[in-house]
């Protein structure tokens, strides 16, 4: 199949207009600035049944990169940074603060026992970001919830 261009609004073009054959592949480029390219294989046409909402994801692997993360190269650098730089200093800072709290003699001294509260909050934030970033995890349920929001015209799906 050659390169397809649109003379109308691309959002109004139906996939059925492309007349894909089973197992035919296409290259879909998302976000022309960051050059995200996806190879998609057409598996077939399914009957739309009952009250189901489409589109729906039936399977997948790995997490999708977050929006506007700088493209494939920046995302891979982020994965490497995540893998090779666990927040060990932040864990130690939090452990030390918790230890001081446990050793303190009352509520009025807790703030003093915590030490640098701003550094502690930053450490907790980094730990939470580290924990949330799971590039190897695919969450089909979450994806289908977002697709349902998209199908209903709820723009909330854009910011999740």
Residue 158 pLDDT: 61
How many domains in the chain?
2
Domain membership flag for residue 73: yes
Domain membership flag for residue 87: yes
Distance separating alpha carbons of residues 10 and 62, to the nearest angstrom? 28
CA nearest neighbour of 41 among 55, 15, 21, 23: 23
Same domain, 30 and 84: no
Q: Measure CA 83 to chain center.
A: 17
Same domain, 26 and 73: no
Same domain, 128 and 71: yes
For the chain, 160 residues long, give each residue's pLDDT as a single digit of tens.
555 566 667 777 777 888 899 999 988 887 777 888 888 888 888 777 778 788 888 888 888 788 788 888 999 998 898 889 888 888 888 888 887 876 776 666 777 777 887 888 888 888 888 888 888 888 899 889 988 888 888 876 665 5
Query: Is the whole model's pTM more than 0.85, yes or no?
Result: no
Percent of the chain with pLDDT over 70: 89
Tell me the pLDDT tens digit for each residue of 8-44.
677 777 778 888 999 999 888 877 778 888 888 888 8
CA nearest neighbour of 54 among 139, 152, 140: 152
């Amino acid at each position: 199949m050659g390169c397809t261009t649109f003379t109308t609004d691309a959002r109004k073009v139906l996939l059925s207009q492309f007349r894909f054959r089973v197992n035919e592949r296409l290259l879909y480029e998302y976000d022309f600035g960051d050059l995200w390219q996806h190879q998609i294989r057409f598996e077939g046409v399914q009957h739309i049944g009952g009250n189901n909402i489409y589109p729906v994801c039936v399977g997948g692997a790995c997490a999708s990169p977050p929006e506007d993360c700088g493209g494939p190269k920046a995302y891979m650098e982020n994965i490497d940074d995540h893998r090779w730089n666990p927040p060990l200093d932040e864990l130690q800072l939090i452990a030390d603060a918790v230890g001081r709290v446990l050793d303190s003699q009352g509520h009025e001294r807790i703030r003093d026992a915590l030490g640098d509260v701003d550094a502690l909050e930053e450490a907790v934030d980094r730990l939470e970001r580290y924990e949330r970033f799971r590039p190897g995890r695919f969450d089909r349920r979450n994806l289908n919830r977002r697709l349902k929001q998209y199908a209903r015209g709820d723009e909330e799906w854009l910011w999740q």
